[in-house]
Chain A
């Protein structure tokens, strides 16, 4: 059956490509390069087609075709802006007319900057500062105080202080301002420097934890790929 044949060909192709890709761990070679370029081409072609299918056709081409026939899916002014902006952006293809597209890339940069600011403030800074309320386990502290377990309440305070110190010193580590000292390296205020030193330890610990996460994710990918190869080898030998 052709579909069976196709799926078997797929498995063999996938196994071969996996094998070649993994061989890069032992060194670069021309066959790996071929696979690399194949990958870049496929990924780009797929991404380009999805951009057309999902965005450009429904957002630009179809509305324009319909407008041509007198049916307006979207407001004419909006449509005109879309067409003009798109046309200006396409001028970037021409070396001589590329500058005409600058206002459009400027628009993208403006939108990008605004989204960055909005995301940073509403998505990162304020939620993270807000999350600091959980640094000290207030409920446990209250219970300990009410029950007269002062040792336990001190433990809550100590734990919270360490966690708060981790956040604060990490933030302080990045303080950039310093005072010039002639030919000596610039110096930050001593308090900032001390806090920054503590912060650097926390930062390194964090980076190590995150690095371990990535390493384990990569190891998992390796296991999945090798398991696939073992499976294919078993299948081929079984036949």
Chain B
């Protein structure tokens, strides 16, 4: 059995669908077609998410089978299957899924975010180790101003930062952020066009 679909088919699909959606975004009259394609894409993305779930399951099932840190992987598998089954059964607003979300998932996730406070402090404290040039000084200097402008420090108000220097730094960074965003937009535009031109074929074409 030959299972490969020839690349031109995939490339043609990507280009045709991509241009259709793009044209429908730029000129009016094709909204129905676009919505149709977007509905398919939303459905396919959801199915892809399930394939992701299957991949996660497979990777960790294999680890359990191969006795490669099986405790961790079996915890993951049990947690995944129980949450999946219960949420499907009761609905995402059901009591048990809500309990799991509020008392298990949320504390860990906010906890990980809280750990970031330490990780980022360490990163900033070690910043000069890797970068002791002018830009390093500018970064740390601006970081100090931005931090000191945020709130009183050890209970002491520092109006020079909150009312004078802080707003200046903020205003400059808003303008520079605009430049950064336009640049990101240009990069996005070019990257998207490469897919539509068939020059980039990440779908295996």
Contact = CB atoms under 8 A, between A and B. Distances in A.
Contact of B182 (A162, A171, A221): A171
B79 interface: yes
Majority secondary structure of chain A interface residues (helix, strand, loop or mixed) = helix
A112 to B, nearest CB: 8
28 contacts: A10-B99, A17-B107, A21-B108, A21-B112, A38-B76, A38-B104, A48-B80, A53-B91, A81-B40, A96-B3, A99-B3, A102-B205, A109-B195, A110-B17, A110-B18, A113-B22, A117-B196, A121-B185, A124-B181, A125-B189, A128-B178, A131-B178, A166-B179, A203-B176, A203-B179, A208-B143, A218-B114, A224-B110
Contacts of B160: none
A184 to B, nearest CB: 20
A230 to B, nearest CB: 14
B103 interface: yes
A107 B40 contact: yes
Contacts of A108: 41, 44-45, 48, 203
Interface residues of B, number: 122
Interface residues of A, number: 120
Interface of A: 6, 9-11, 13-15, 17-18, 20-22, 24-25, 33-56, 59-60, 78, 81-82, 85-86, 89-90, 92-93, 96-100, 102-122, 124-125, 128-129, 131-132, 135, 162-164, 166-171, 173-174, 199-219, 221-222, 224-226, 228
Between B48, B91, B170, the greatest number of chain A beta carbons within 10 A of the residue's beta carbon is seen for: B48
